[in-house]
Chains A and B, each alone.
Chain A
Amino acid sequence: MSRRIFLASALAAGLIGPVLPAHAQQPDVYRIGAILSMSGSAPHYGTVMSRGALIAIDEINAAGGVDGTKLELAIEDHKSGNTQAAVAGMNRLITVAQSPAVMSSFSGPTVAIAPISKEKEVFVINGGGVSLRMIGVSPYMFHNRSLATDLAAAAVHRAQARGFKRIAQIAGKSEFGDSVIAASYEVAKKLGLEIVAAEQFATDATNIDTQVAKLRASRPDVVLNWPTTPQAGLVVKRVREMGMSQPVISMEWTGEDTKIAGVANSNGVEVATDYFSPTADNAMGQRFYNEYKQRHGEDPDFYAANYYEGVHVIAELIRRAKIKGGNYWNGARLTEALWEDPSFASVYGGKMTFQKNGVALKRVAILEVADGQLKLKEFMAARTE
């Protein structure tokens, strides 16, 4: 959906909305739930994700809401991955906020709320968690973040393209790290590359010297750096400090990582990721980028972008479902609306398409960090191994 259509429909909604009599199933406001990591050991995710979502909500509301009805965000906290907290939050969203559409984050909490999503027909869109375990657990659950395994495959292909033979990989000890390491082994084997080291550390560790020492001892050609922010930056900092000059390919890189690794160390790091860049041909991305920068004084990362995108997907689904009439403000109808046309405007530029397994396929880009900025080197076709 292009910006023009979006604006047009918003305009139309603004004109027509007020004159229509209130429908029986028409809520006063569309409350969208969000179960995010607002506190605990990794509260920064919650901070940026909620910012992204709020920008989308404000943007849509400023344009008159969805067909005249405003959106509202109800945030619940899963305390950086606590499943009981996530389930409590989900139940609160259903009972108190009465929200049939929820954005979730982190794999654990997302899997934990899946049975409720299935049972209560709650539409869930996850833009943060990457575990394979989230696939197929609820027919109403979708993911607008590429699977880590797909990204890992892209990174290994990239390593092969650059002529590397000996690969060392490092990851956090999480479902993310595990699935990525497993996937890389598979792809590397297929491509005839050797994995000479695979080290893991506790997800909240700040001390990874031992792991890096073992990486160094394995004398690799390239380091595949799987941790998420901010440990991606930490790995690069340590790798360089330990005198390793090998190229690094990361899966994720945000401004936070540059901050931690230091600008000098970050130079030359490659990033294989589903690509978010507010370039000229990407109006939605640019609009988001500018608003975020203006509000918070820093560049948005792709987590913020995913939740911005998530709100837009939900808004679009409401619009589609409402046209068909009846009691449309529920997860089943929203899901039905999604399958009508699983293609949506992406804040990454172009379209993303939800596949049968519920995961959106976005193109993978190879970026390079230069003076703290991400520069696009090339696009790679999205592939599912």
Chain B
Amino acid sequence: MDLILQLLANGISNGSQYALLGIGFGLIFGTTGIVHFAYGPVFAASAYVMWWLIAALGLPFPVAVVLGMAFAAGFGVLAYLVIYEPLVERGSPSFVVLVASLGLFIVIANTLAIVFGTDAKTLPDFSYGIYFLGDVVVTGVQIAQVLVFMAVALALSAFLKYGTWGSAIRAVTDNVDMARIVGIDTRKVAIVVFAIGSMISAIAAANLLVREGASTHIGFFAVFYAFIAVVVGGVGSIRGAAIGGLLLGLVESTGMWKLPTEWQSTIAFLVLFVVMLWRPTGLLRGN
């Protein structure tokens, strides 16, 4: 019984991280229709930048996170303007955009290794303490992860509901053509969502940095899990991405209750496979 509770706790914590990644990715994907595979390397790059700001320049952690978010926003927008926009404008099919972002993925992952070296980047002895709930252990980082996710998710939905750009973003997500007809500048909306989505990835990167540090290949898992969270939840729905991410974390963790743990990712993907066959457009309404 202890084990399943512990696995549940871990699942919620990890699921929060996936969900966080998912809502950032889902915002970009749902609004622009671009499979932003370079979301992963942007995530990785901002983790490295934050590490560098802290370890080399000695900046305090919150300052580094804010700067890291700004960096990610700039990077994401740049990727959109330089690579995606020209392709989308030429009417390229979406998988050309997908391969282009895979190209970007390769460039960034390798450049990180060249610039920062191939060793792992960690913050020395950054600790949040350990808490016991009965026999279940949770670390401060795990709790922080859940809280950060909830805060970001709430802030994002408030922004989409009340913010200046919120209604425009929702309109574009619903129907691009209609949005264009009613005079919404879809280009600006795309830029805004790339900025916000990338910033969310940087927050997730900060989580990872304190959890286990950054290494060059972290980007792939980030974008893969984010993608899955979004698709399982239903494209175009922030709540769907959040639920998808949490579910992924829970399945991956509790699914191992009675199974050998090397089957962890297999189980997660098997569930994904079944969910997709059962509900092809995701758990919540997808478009």
Q: Do chains A and B touch in the complex (CB under 8 A)?
A: yes
* A residues at B contact (CB < 8 Å): 39-44, 46-47, 173, 199-202, 204, 206-207, 209-211, 213-214, 216-217, 230, 234, 237, 241-243, 256, 259-260, 262-264
Which residue of chain B is the closest to A296 with respect to CB atoms? B117
Q: Is B177 an interface residue (CB 8 A)?
A: no
Q: Is B16 an interface residue (CB 8 A)?
A: no
Given contacts A43-B216, A206-B212, A210-B256, contact A242 B261 (CB under 8 A): no
Q: Is B89 an interface residue (CB 8 A)?
A: no
Q: Is B122 an interface residue (CB 8 A)?
A: yes
Contact A260 B13 (CB under 8 A): no
Given contacts A206-B212, A206-B218, A210-B256, contact A259 B261 (CB under 8 A): no
Q: Mark B16-45, 1 if CB is under 8 A from A, else 0.
A: 000000000000000000000000000000
Contact B118 A260 (CB under 8 A): no
Which residue of chain A is the closest to B254 with respect to CB atoms? A210
Residues on A with beta carbons closer than 8 Å to the beta carbon of B134? none
Contact of B110 among A39, A211, A262 (CB under 8 A): A39
Q: Is B46 an interface residue (CB 8 A)?
A: no
Contact B120 A214 (CB under 8 A): no
Contact B14 A200 (CB under 8 A): no
Residues on A with beta carbons closer than 8 Å to the beta carbon of B2? 217
| 19 further A-B pairs in the complex, CB-CB below 8 A; given A206-B215, A234-B212 | A40-B217, A47-B119, A199-B260, A199-B261, A200-B262, A206-B212, A207-B14, A210-B7, A211-B256, A217-B3, A217-B6, A230-B215, A241-B137, A241-B139, A242-B137, A243-B130, A259-B122, A260-B212, A263-B124
Residues on B with beta carbons closer than 8 Å to the beta carbon of A209? 10, 13-14, 253
Which residue of chain A is the closest to B256 with respect to CB atoms? A210
Contact A47 B256 (CB under 8 A): no
Residues on B with beta carbons closer than 8 Å to the beta carbon of A243? 130, 132, 137
Least CB distance from A297 to B in Å reads 11
Contact B264 A202 (CB under 8 A): yes
* Docked pose: A256 CA to B10 CA in angstroms: 26
Q: Is B213 an interface residue (CB 8 A)?
A: yes
Least CB distance from A269 to B in Å reads 15
Contact A262 B264 (CB under 8 A): no
Most chain A beta-carbon neighbours within 10 Å: one of B6, B7, B14, B132: B6
Contact B137 A210 (CB under 8 A): no
* B residues at A contact (CB < 8 Å): 2-3, 6-7, 10, 13-14, 110, 113, 117-120, 122, 124-127, 130, 132, 137, 139, 141, 208, 211-213, 215-218, 221, 252-253, 256, 260-262, 264-265
15 contacts between A and B (CB under 8 A): A39-B113, A41-B217, A44-B119, A201-B262, A202-B262, A202-B264, A206-B211, A206-B218, A213-B6, A213-B253, A241-B137, A256-B119, A259-B119, A262-B125, A264-B125
Residues on A with beta carbons closer than 8 Å to the beta carbon of B117? 47
Least CB distance from B16 to A in Å reads 12
Contact A214 B261 (CB under 8 A): yes
* Docked pose: A264 CA to B260 CA in angstroms: 31
Residues on B with beta carbons closer than 8 Å to the beta carbon of A264? 125
Residues on B with beta carbons closer than 8 Å to the beta carbon of A230? 120, 215
Most chain B beta-carbon neighbours within 10 Å: one of A46, A199, A210, A256: A210
* Docked pose: A256 CA to B139 CA in angstroms: 23
Contact A256 B120 (CB under 8 A): yes
Which residue of chain B is the closest to A204 with respect to CB atoms? B217
Contact A260 B113 (CB under 8 A): no
* Docked pose: A262 CA to B2 CA in angstroms: 27
Contact of A260 among B137, B213, B262 (CB under 8 A): B213
Contact B261 A43 (CB under 8 A): no
Given contacts A39-B110, A200-B261, A256-B120, contact A213 B139 (CB under 8 A): no
* Docked pose: A243 CA to B139 CA in angstroms: 9
Residues on B with beta carbons closer than 8 Å to the beta carbon of A211? 256, 261, 264
* Docked pose: A264 CA to B129 CA in angstroms: 13
Contact of A43 among B3, B113, B252 (CB under 8 A): B113
* Docked pose: A237 CA to B142 CA in angstroms: 14
Given contacts A201-B264, A260-B120, contact A237 B217 (CB under 8 A): no
Contact A214 B118 (CB under 8 A): no
Least CB distance from B150 to A in Å reads 19
Contact B262 A210 (CB under 8 A): no
Contact of B264 among A41, A44, A47, A210 (CB under 8 A): A210
* Docked pose: A161 CA to B33 CA in angstroms: 61
* Docked pose: A46 CA to B113 CA in angstroms: 12
* Docked pose: A46 CA to B14 CA in angstroms: 31
Contact A216 B262 (CB under 8 A): no
Contact of A210 among B10, B120, B124, B221 (CB under 8 A): B10
Residues on A with beta carbons closer than 8 Å to the beta carbon of B13? 209
Least CB distance from A370 to B in Å reads 15
Least CB distance from A307 to B in Å reads 15
Contact B212 A237 (CB under 8 A): yes
Given contacts A47-B118, A201-B264, A243-B130, contact A206 B124 (CB under 8 A): no
Contact A262 B212 (CB under 8 A): no
Contact B118 A44 (CB under 8 A): yes
* Docked pose: A263 CA to B125 CA in angstroms: 7
* Docked pose: A210 CA to B6 CA in angstroms: 8
Which residue of chain B is the closest to A80 with respect to CB atoms? B217
Which residue of chain A is the closest to B113 with respect to CB atoms? A43
Residues on A with beta carbons closer than 8 Å to the beta carbon of B126? 262
Residues on B with beta carbons closer than 8 Å to the beta carbon of A42? 217
Residues on B with beta carbons closer than 8 Å to the beta carbon of A43? 113, 118, 216
